A and B are shown apart, each in its own frame.
Chain A
């Protein structure tokens, strides 16, 4: 079960001709796939396209009605490979994952696919995770399109343009026998808007039908000599066909006056940013009517030489708006101009920053600098000579703390890393490799555990060089998502085969949690369309790893600590794997909270735990904070002139996971913590007995209070 349900939104996918769809970009893409008569869809979750997978998953009934096969692929490589169905069969297929990391994983399949070429339209929807909000290395997917020859669509970031790009993309793919990639940036995925719907279409040939009439053609196999023929085919036939299609169908767009001294070439996805800069400079109106000619590349690969040269005619200066590095587009356009012996001045990274996001400020400054250089007279007087002074605003850079993401309230991974920190206190610092997933937050304070990450499912593999062992054992951490994505084959068989003496900790929280709580092989929930409940330990046994310890309640910090210590110190040779399992608290609360509230309402007995701190007992040393970082465990300044430091305080968002008490105990911190279990709807006897106890205790307290001075709390 994913973190967010799209059951309500899925209804919008049933809209037809004459209806207007209003909603998020991701949903619009899903609708466009259905309108394009897609035959199969799949992919692997990851921001910013996680919701696309979640929508498809929630839309399985609708997909089945249309005869569309939905596959939640094991990883991006599996998703890429699935597009093989479009090689021989005239079936449209689409898969989605995040770029550039997903494309890295899928690149083997994608390169083979691009070499073979396709019969049915094949589309890869890539969520380009670049700039603010990104969680990965800052790279461009663009390079993959160039090296393997698939066409890259980068539509303007509004719903009608994105929807059109989907249907254009399939046709382009079929017209040029080449897979296409539709790139959507983080904000375009979440942007809202409207478009006019068409009816959903059944695929002309379903994957079921294809199985009844299998096809094959050895000319499509990537083996010599066919592989050489594929390369020639790409260059001599598929590429020109694509160029012709793009020109004839006008996939790229021109805006603004026909002729001017200057012009701007822009990646489709950056169009709105350019218009905003022009709007602020007084060179465009609210509807994007502009005085500067703009050539919008809704297809950023391949580039169309003659279309670009026509745009450049009569112009003296042309600016290329291309985010990220290296500047592939600018370089290519430059060589077009050079080959045509043009004297147009090409600008781009000379004015724009080479690296980093083109924010509103960057765009405004650079476009202004460009216009100032190319046609200063176009700028309104107030821009040319601004006379207002900059306001002086106090510098807060030393005041405002950074707020990196961290473990949620009650996260079951927190106690694992608290236990690791305790073990490191005893045994010293260790070599620790991390993987991809929520557990990577442990690299940040307060835990600072894990030094590097080499990719999804590659945590233990990243310790390969240390497999031979030494005085201390290397430790690797991997999530259950990473385990099934690629970890079992790349990391654990690697450990087992090489007789590693290292330790690996599998953080099993029942979901692919970091990407939004999607089900995976070892999820505990029963999923009607997927095989779940496959234990990780069984897979480990299968690859010959015998030293496996399962901790089925990570909140038991003492046990967690002892198990990690055992793995690090046991004389036994060979890989040692700890599977630490507790459910992701975000998902657990989402599942249990409504049930609990319902039970309380219905009068059933429910125990609700929450933690608290005795202010008087807490000395404000904050040792507990350094083993927690929980959002609900915070600080409070006391109204006591004798106290210098704020004391620990637990707010009402506490879910009573138990980490505070466990850590206070295992690390022997302090006696300040208490757990209060409020019993809703207690039984008759329970209530009577509690009343009795309470009366006796009350009498004792009163007795002592009456014999000594009691200070009432200051108010």
Chain B
């Protein structure tokens, strides 16, 4: 879709001054129809002639939907209303989702000479944003910036969250925002009467309406912006451990200032993953990186981040611990609105394969077994199946609790040996490069981002990592090596099977 050409502001015929044109852009299932009905019946009850229409079609199944209302003071004859919004000719545009606001702007329905734009800032992600292996979420900030330019008056807030917190749906808060905007010539009572007349869920709708009204009329542009400041996590534990933690924290704070914040978070992650000694290990490595960091500190910073992620790899022990840790039950209960009057069952979906079982064996033994296909097949037969485990039942909880407590065993395992070998190779490669090409060394550190997921996804991540590193080997020594390394990594995050990466690698091979 392109921006419409018909945006040239024309002076409307004064005889047309009386027609108010209001469009609603929503995502299927958001109750745009209800909102339209309220607006229309309110207009009629207030002595206006009104006409509404909509385009739903298959869009009622989660696609974008358009509703359109026109109204004018009732006269002797019925006015001729249009059945669709026209670019450059919309007085009030209501969008029930942030990207739909963007779509309205793109279609030319929001113009600086006339349009009041009321939009909810929340996101309902499109499939294309979700399937990207990296971060594919579209930028709400860009849409907001465009809206500030395009709209005569722009009202935005998370009207979805506001509705949910008032036990209602977004149509009610948006109706409130419309009332609060003062864009229509009707008093607040007319809106509330329309809600009452519809007769369904009246109390909750009126509550949400009031919240939307206050939000819009108070002029606050966004509630989501009022983020609570991030505070460092508190740490509790036995005195001996707390003292140990204090000492490690002190060490972390002595790192280059650019890296301190990340290093503290990283330290927390690895200590939580294993123990204080492991945390000391992390800092040893990091201090070595810092010592040879001759640049602007980025090398240490990225190392702090990705070393923590690499050291806190996702093994069975970590997952089992996460599923049996303090606070999890309470968090889930809060999310599910389960209180004291209810009982909650929690089922986990686990599917261990031979690879995971063997990775828990002592390193040498595990490596031997992993090379024996018949033995692996046997383990698969015994263990490889989907397991649905109720962590609210005692036997299952105990099993996971036991696994989660195997930290002392962890360092002996095949998995640990493999991960350590990987870290040595990866970090070694980066440090080797650091003296020659600082930027490329930073990019190499960032490639750890490619390794994530479990089982097949993890294997795919590793193979992408390996291929990007191969590409980097070809690039080493070139002036633009770091830039190309970044491109390779970004290409690897575009799609699942690495098609974009293949293309990028081909380009690299063509010149390197």
Residues of A within 8 A of B (CB): 22, 47-48, 129, 132-135, 157-158, 186-188, 190-193, 271-273, 275-276, 279-282, 284-288, 359-361, 363-365, 380, 382-383, 386, 388, 390-397, 399-408, 438, 441, 444-446, 514, 558, 607, 610, 612, 614, 616-617, 619-623, 625-626, 629, 631, 633-635, 637, 639-642, 644-646, 652, 661, 664-671, 673-682, 686-687, 690, 693-694, 696-697, 700-702, 704-715
Which residues from 265 to 287 on chain B have a C-beta closer than 8 Å to any C-beta of chain A?
265-266, 268-269, 271-272, 275-276
Which residues does chain A contribute within 8 Å of B82, judged by CB atoms? 272-273, 275-276, 360
Contact of B62 among A281, A408, A680 (CB under 8 A): A408
Known: A406-B127, A687-B343. A401 touches B138 (CB 8 A): yes
Identify the 5 closest CB pairs spanning chains A and B, nearest first.
Answer: A360-B86, A133-B55, A405-B63, A665-B386, A621-B453
Extra 15 A-B pairs, beta carbons < 8 Å, given A286-B19, A392-B149, A665-B388: A276-B80, A279-B80, A284-B80, A285-B13, A285-B15, A359-B87, A361-B87, A391-B113, A397-B106, A401-B128, A405-B61, A621-B461, A623-B496, A670-B455, A712-B235
Known: A191-B53, A393-B146. A286 touches B72 (CB 8 A): yes
Task: Determine the distance from Cα of A141 to Cα of B76 in the docked complex, in whole angstroms.
Answer: 37
Q: How far is the CB of B352 from chain A (nearest CB, A)?
A: 9
Known: A133-B55, A697-B394. A612 touches B332 (CB 8 A): yes
Which residues does chain A contribute within 8 Å of B348, judged by CB atoms? 671, 673-674
Are B51 and A676 in contact, with the CB atoms below 8 A? no
Are A701 and B324 in contact, with the CB atoms below 8 A? yes
Which residues does chain A contribute within 8 Å of B335, judged by CB atoms? 612, 676
Contact of A132 among B66, B388, B454 (CB under 8 A): B66
Known: A361-B86, A558-B386. A682 touches B11 (CB 8 A): no
Which residues does chain B contribute within 8 Å of A644, judged by CB atoms? 134-135, 449
Task: Determine the distance from Cα of A190 to Cα of B276 in the docked complex, in whole angstroms.
Answer: 67
The residue among A665, A676, A681 with the most chain B CB atoms within 10 A of its own CB is A676
Jot down 27 A-B pairs with beta carbons below 8 A, ordered by A. Answer: A47-B58, A360-B6, A363-B86, A364-B6, A394-B145, A396-B106, A397-B3, A402-B126, A445-B128, A614-B322, A617-B319, A619-B314, A631-B29, A642-B266, A664-B351, A666-B386, A671-B348, A671-B351, A676-B336, A677-B344, A677-B345, A678-B344, A693-B393, A697-B397, A700-B401, A709-B272, A714-B232
Are B272 and A713 in contact, with the CB atoms below 8 A? no
Are B130 and A383 in contact, with the CB atoms below 8 A? no
Known: A393-B105, A405-B58, A693-B392. A610 touches B336 (CB 8 A): yes
Task: Determine the distance from Cα of A134 to Cα of B386 in the docked complex, in whole angstroms.
Answer: 43
Known: A677-B345, A709-B241. A47 touches B453 (CB 8 A): no
Residue of A nearest to B55 (CB): A133
Which residues does chain A contribute within 8 Å of B137, judged by CB atoms? 635, 637, 646
User: Does B251 make an interface contact (CB < 8 A)?
Assistant: no
Are A635 and B125 in contact, with the CB atoms below 8 A? yes
Which residues from 289 to 335 on chain B have a C-beta closer than 8 Å to any C-beta of chain A?
305, 308-309, 314, 319, 322-329, 332, 335
Are B27 and A403 in contact, with the CB atoms below 8 A? yes
Residue of A nearest to B62 (CB): A406
Which residues does chain B contribute within 8 Å of A558, judged by CB atoms? 386
Are A714 and B230 in contact, with the CB atoms below 8 A? yes
Are B9 and A287 in contact, with the CB atoms below 8 A? no
Task: Determine the distance from Cα of A679 to Cα of B342 in the docked complex, in whole angstroms.
Answer: 5
Residue of B nearest to A675 (CB): B347
Total residue contacts A-B, CB cutoff 8 A = 421
Task: Determine the distance from Cα of A686 to Cα of B341 in the docked complex, in whole angstroms.
Answer: 12
Which residues does chain B contribute within 8 Å of A708, judged by CB atoms? 237-238, 241, 275
Which residues from 80 to 115 on chain B have a C-beta closer than 8 Å to any C-beta of chain A?
80-89, 99-100, 102-103, 105-106, 108, 110-113
User: Does B261 make an interface contact (CB < 8 A)?
Assistant: yes
Residue of A nearest to B111 (CB): A391
User: Does B474 make an interface contact (CB < 8 A)?
Assistant: no
Which residues does chain A contribute within 8 Å of B72, judged by CB atoms? 286
The residue among A187, A363, A696, A706 with the most chain B CB atoms within 10 A of its own CB is A187
Known: A445-B128, A678-B342, A693-B393. A191 touches B349 (CB 8 A): no
Task: Determine the distance from Cα of A22 to Cα of B66 in the docked complex, in whole angstroms.
Answer: 22
Task: Determine the distance from Cα of A195 to Cα of B139 in the docked complex, in whole angstroms.
Answer: 47
Are A286 and B84 in contact, with the CB atoms below 8 A? no
Are A193 and B142 in contact, with the CB atoms below 8 A? no
Which residues does chain A contribute within 8 Å of B345, judged by CB atoms? 607, 676-677, 679
Over the window 423-449 of chain B, the binary record of Cβ atoms lying under 8 Å from chain A Cβ atoms (1 yes, 0 no) is 000000000000000000000000001
Are A279 and B102 in contact, with the CB atoms below 8 A? no
Contact of B130 among A132, A186, A629, A712 (CB under 8 A): A629
Task: Determine the distance from Cα of A560 to Cα of B235 in the docked complex, in whole angstroms.
Answer: 48
Which residues does chain A contribute within 8 Å of B83, judged by CB atoms? 157, 187-188, 191, 272-273
Q: How far is the CB of A335 from chain B (nearest CB, A)?
A: 31
Residue of A nearest to B11 (CB): A382
Are A676 and B346 in contact, with the CB atoms below 8 A? yes
Are B53 and A408 in contact, with the CB atoms below 8 A? no
Are A709 and B271 in contact, with the CB atoms below 8 A? yes
Which residues does chain A contribute within 8 Å of B78, judged by CB atoms? 158, 193, 287
Q: How far is the CB of A433 from chain B (nearest CB, A)?
A: 20
Known: A360-B85, A360-B89, A619-B314. A393 touches B127 (CB 8 A): no
Which residues does chain B contribute within 8 Å of A365, judged by CB atoms? 5-6
Contact of A406 among B12, B61, B337 (CB under 8 A): B61
Are A642 and B79 in contact, with the CB atoms below 8 A? no
Task: Determine the distance from Cα of A287 to Cα of B81 in the docked complex, in whole angstroms.
Answer: 9
Known: A405-B62, A701-B324. A190 touches B54 (CB 8 A): yes
Number of interface residues of B (CB under 8 A): 159
Residue of B nearest to A389 (CB): B8
Which residues does chain B contribute within 8 Å of A282, judged by CB atoms? 13
Task: Determine the distance from Cα of A623 to Cα of B81 in the docked complex, in whole angstroms.
Answer: 49
Are A710 and B235 in contact, with the CB atoms below 8 A? yes
Which residues does chain A contribute within 8 Å of B135, judged by CB atoms? 644-646
Task: Determine the distance from Cα of A202 to Cα of B16 in the docked complex, in whole angstroms.
Answer: 44
Are B105 and A396 in contact, with the CB atoms below 8 A? yes
Residue of B nearest to A361 (CB): B6
User: Does B197 make an interface contact (CB < 8 A)?
Assistant: no
Are A438 and B61 in contact, with the CB atoms below 8 A? yes
Contact of B392 among A383, A402, A407, A690 (CB under 8 A): A690
Are A712 and B57 in contact, with the CB atoms below 8 A? no
Over the window 1-39 of chain B, the binary record of Cβ atoms lying under 8 Å from chain A Cβ atoms (1 yes, 0 no) is 111111111111101101100000001110000000000
Q: How far is the CB of A290 from chain B (nearest CB, A)?
A: 10
Which residues does chain B contribute within 8 Å of A678, judged by CB atoms? 336-338, 342-344
Are A670 and B454 in contact, with the CB atoms below 8 A? yes
Known: A285-B15, A286-B79, A619-B314. A714 touches B56 (CB 8 A): no
User: Does B124 make an interface contact (CB < 8 A)?
Assistant: yes
Task: Determine the distance from Cα of A714 to Cα of B351 in the docked complex, in whole angstroms.
Answer: 31
User: Does B210 make an interface contact (CB < 8 A)?
Assistant: no
Task: Determine the distance from Cα of A328 to Cα of B170 in the docked complex, in whole angstroms.
Answer: 45
Are B55 and A401 in contact, with the CB atoms below 8 A? no
Contact of B452 among A620, A705, A709 (CB under 8 A): A620
Which residues does chain B contribute within 8 Å of A190, judged by CB atoms? 52-56
Which residues does chain A contribute within 8 Å of B398, judged by CB atoms? 700
User: Does B77 make an interface contact (CB < 8 A)?
Assistant: yes
Task: Determine the distance from Cα of A496 to Cα of B16 in the docked complex, in whole angstroms.
Answer: 64
Which residues does chain B contribute within 8 Å of A272, judged by CB atoms? 80-83
Task: Determine the distance from Cα of A617 to Cα of B57 in the docked complex, in whole angstroms.
Answer: 40
Which residues does chain B contribute within 8 Å of A132, judged by CB atoms? 55, 66, 84
Are B392 and A697 in contact, with the CB atoms below 8 A? yes
